[in-house]
Structure 1
């Protein structure tokens, strides 16, 4: 019992001693905080009892923002750091001065330690980086051998080709087309197109230029104009009209489509129709629909740039063209087995 009473008495005495020491320390701390404001001298306190009540102590916050107006000596306050002309429109109170006088786009004063942004700062933040400019005006080139194949024809073995390529940018390009056939070492058909292409949409392009026929018959030059591009679901289409020597006119419509059986195995159906405005017996061409060709080729892309293929090709002559073909002792319809390679650069 004696020990317990001694511990209780000792604890009470310790609390009384701690409170008696803490009261003057709180007063001194408040005075020291007020004196820490370099622009304002310490406020003289009126004579009070040595100890402050807890209600009075709680009303004194850091910076004394909650002190009553009567407790301040305004004659000793430093008002030089405040510009009375700068008023906060929302509260009607004066705003704190700004050493640099900088304001943002809304007219709000900015802190003095943030300098105004200059053109030199923007240039330093966004320098011109060499080698990272836009490349839309740089010309590129592409060459595709869509068909380079052996054909098993009735007259013997034949070598046929069809190629296309371009040079230029995204909007304007120079196009090159060529197709032909050699049978038993003799060139039966050969032609070359040189066209200027201008994009008229994301998938379509107007073309115009020259077509030169070397065979059959004597060479002939055509003016060419047309439209090429991609129709629905990846169907590639070329429609071209021609105006030749002697008032001869012609038109050609071509279409092809790639069916992806796997990522590397592709089935390609193709079709071509040729029309002429009038008969040309020297070249064995009749008016109207003169020829139609269709083919089906299955290729395997060993690489995207190189793909061997096999397939079949079918062709037929119509109208007066078929009559010219029969007069020369040839069939107006034929089917051939083909094997070749498709490659591009």
Structure 2
């Protein structure tokens, strides 16, 4: 009896010790929202936007990378990397704190602190709203919606808005001069949601003082491109 009681006690203790471990189970993943080639009127560009994460349901460390490499030019037109801590503040939203490094070729580096919210708004719109704080602060809002046309065919409209809060003439950014980027992509879930090739269109244009700076620099304001690529999720 004593042996059986001791064995039962040992088993119960093992289950108690296992509960916190299960509650704080380590999770990790990789998600590329955009991994695509853009065919434009004047130039072709390779573009990526991905998150890699590790952590728990209560706290995640996220590496976010976004960039554009103009084909034939041999340089990064844009290049951003972020380290973000993400933790829940409600059922559908996580708060974000982190740092961002903006290091494109041919321009001075910029570094920002990041504060934001990421999650699902009503009607299942995915949003990411971030405030970037430094001597060249700006606000960025990203939103997208996945419309299931069939079990595998998905139409995804997206919108990104960047609002400079301070003038940054070197980057052709004027306070209040909004830059909008809108896209529409049709994807097919080839291997569940892990691999989803897509085709679509993308358009980007700046307004206000930012548009004035772009024209003064001799650059064209407004870029339309046809895109093809794939989404990845592991």
Q: TM-score, normalised by structure 1?
A: 0.61
Aligned to 2:160: 272
Closer/same/farther in 2, CA of residues 136 and 320 from structure 1, 3 Å limit: same
How is 1:99-178 mapped onto 2 (pairs within 5 angstroms)? 124=8, 127-128=11-12, 133-134=18-19, 135-178=22-65
Alignment of 1:279-318 (within 5 A): 279-303=167-191, 304-318=193-207
Sort the Cα spacing of 1:280 and 1:131 in 2 relative to 1 into closer, same or farther, 3 A: same
Higher alpha-carbon Rg: 1
Q: Which runs of 5+ in 2 are unaligned?
A: none
Structure 1 residue ranges without an equivalent (≥5)? 1-117
CA distance in 1: counterparts of 2:152 and 2:32, whole angstroms = 18
Moved >3 Å (runs of 4+): 120-134
Structure 1 residue 130 displacement after superposition? 6.3
Equivalences for residues 179-194 of structure 1 within 5 A: 179-184=66-71, 185-194=74-83
- Name the structure where strand makes up a greater proportion of residues: 2
- Which residue number in structure 2 is paired with residue 325 of structure 1? 214
Backbone CA RMSD of aligned residues: 2.2
| Counterpart among 142, 148, 152 of residue 260 in structure 1 | 148
**1:154: Cα distance to partner?**
2.5
TM-superposed CA distance for 1:129, in Å, is 8.7
Q: Residues 211-226 of structure 1: matches in 2 within 5 Å? A: 211-215=100-104, 217-226=107-116
For residues 237 and 161 of structure 1, the distance between their equivalents in structure 2, rounded to whole angstroms, comes to 18
Which structure is higher in helix share? 1
Which structure exhibits the higher relative contact order, with contacts defined as CA atoms closer than 8 Å and separated by 6 or more residues?
Answer: 2
Question: Contact between 1:204 and 1:228, CA under 8 Å: does it hold in 2?
Answer: yes
